[in-house]
Structure 1
């Protein structure tokens, strides 16, 4: 079933996402992901099998928990700047987007239970520069032009929605939203924050969400927070604006972004503790319907989050 015009998470259906795809593939599966680009795993049979098994595990968690599943494409780094650094052509990159949407469509056909566990195909977009410390800051117009290519492919190949993950500053988020609006495809904007609760740019989370809404007539379907530990942002979640946050994909680790970048081993935290923290955050976020993980998390964390937030 396709959900582009009626995303189930917008009508209160509890949904999960996956966890930290890249960290799972690198640290648990032993795969090499140059530039942290998960889509490069599709170049080998072993990589394709690992991603398929990874997504199936989360699909099974969703069905067992009677929650929907926001199925992410492995395309966080599959945009022009990163493809050029990986010596990948635009033609090949376009084919990657077609393949990933097709693969998730097959998974949906095989495992979805629409009445209790709707599966949404979500095209993932990452930042044009580093997801922690960008050195090149795009204008809104530049961001719209840059990301419109990837959004166009997701629209063409039938994704239900797109999500911009690990956004570090306001202008890029506005540009992405404008590009999605031009294609009339739903978009979720996920900001990351530092240990002080502010974006890496120094902009406040509240200001970022309000600015994107104001600049785009409230076009984002919803906002998310990702790639930060709950301790880093719980203290800023006050005010009516938090009603626009419908998704959380937190890190298991309390390490800063700088420390995570330098880490040579995986800090996977405590799944049960992370679940309890999500349960606490659900009282601060009245419209929270989409939960999952980010760096260092895997199926254990997402299962624990489901158990802890059941009925919240």
Structure 2
């Protein structure tokens, strides 16, 4: 049964204003909360009351920051690993995987119902991750990627998500396939690339080449693009103010650490970086690229980093009497 959605045909973040997101879900749960996440998969927490309580507590910290600053929020489902290759490793068959992707949206609906206000919209996004490792080059062509990711997108459509967002993509072909699959199912999609320390995708393509290729091959299907899972120091130089393609990048979810992906892969401790420095870098990005209005974090960040971003980017709110 297809659920009625709230914002699928009119995403409020497309009309302007700042929208926050959460931060590094998996790193926060593992290193701060001591949660065991096999294969870095947070979606498994949806299968137990205790796990759902952990997720609710996690999201609540970010929603509180957004409430304090009067911003909107994009709630991403905990399903970055909830595709068939990773599900196979975790013992989920196709039916169980579909069910948990559908239920992930219902879980977020419950959070939205208790938080949203007319002046602060809350958009529910089904989160998609790469088929393989986000730090290693993907090998699918666009047609294979479209067919592969269509199943998870269909579950989000059935669950009633407002949109889908594909995170930590390092393959242009995979991004094209996801954008086409979402368009075929009439759900808005955002595409978020990750880059190496040189500001390029793992195979050497520039961000400009990636964004322009996806737009060209999909007739501009994505609602917008984002950058995630890299520190701003890694991609600031790849962005040139005034170039038309940069106006397609509407969001940033940066890492706390300046370490490379290879260094992070080998690390057994959490590098939380410098939240204030991260906030200043977001402020500078916003000044140079005002279209960037979805602001959050990725690996190593938690609600304190998002608070620091708000402190740097947003004007102070007047205290109510």
Query: Are residue 271 (structure 1) and residue 266 (structure 2) matched?
Result: no
C-alpha displacement at 1:169, in angstroms?
1.1
C-alpha displacement at 1:311, in angstroms?
5.0
Alignment of 1:55-74 (within 5 A): 55-74=59-78
- 1:185 is aligned to 187
Query: Are residue 88 (structure 1) and residue 92 (structure 2) matched?
Result: yes
CA contact (8 A) 1:63 1:113 kept: no
**Structure 1 gap ranges (5+):** none
Length-normalised TM-score, structure 2? 0.94
Query: Are residue 248 (structure 1) and residue 252 (structure 2) matched?
Result: yes
Query: Are residue 119 (structure 1) and residue 122 (structure 2) matched?
Result: yes
Q: Distance in 1 between matches of 2:61 and 2:234?
A: 29
Q: Distance in 1 between matches of 2:276 and 2:9?
A: 35
C-alpha displacement at 1:56, in angstroms?
1.4
Q: 1:208 aligns with which of 207, 210, 223?
A: 210
CA contact (8 A) 1:227 1:295 kept: yes
- 2:234 is aligned to 232
- 1:132 is aligned to 135
Q: 1:11 aligns with which of 15, 32, 41?
A: 15
Q: 2:158 aligns with which of 135, 156, 174?
A: 156
Partner SS state of residue 75, structure 1:
coil
CA contact (8 A) 2:103 2:159 kept: no
C-alpha displacement at 1:44, in angstroms?
3.2
**Structure 2 gap ranges (5+):** 317-321
Count of matched residue positions in the alignment of Structure 1 and Structure 2: 310
Q: Distance in 1 between matches of 2:118 and 2:297?
A: 23
Q: 1:165 aligns with which of 164, 167, 191?
A: 167
CA contact (8 A) 1:250 1:294 kept: yes
C-alpha displacement at 1:13, in angstroms?
2.1
- 2:319 is aligned to none
- 1:309 is aligned to 313
Q: Distance in 2 between matches of 1:78 and 1:3?
A: 23
C-alpha displacement at 1:103, in angstroms?
1.0
C-alpha displacement at 1:43, in angstroms?
3.0
CA contact (8 A) 1:169 1:203 kept: no
Q: 1:40 aligns with which of 34, 44, 65?
A: 44
Partner SS state of residue 155, structure 1:
helix
Q: Distance in 2 between matches of 1:6 and 1:295?
A: 30
Partner SS state of residue 223, structure 1:
strand
Length-normalised TM-score, structure 1? 0.97
Alignment of 1:190-201 (within 5 A): 190-201=192-203
Q: CA RMSD in A?
A: 1.2
Moved over 6 A (4+): none
C-alpha displacement at 1:97, in angstroms?
1.3
CA contact (8 A) 1:237 1:284 kept: no
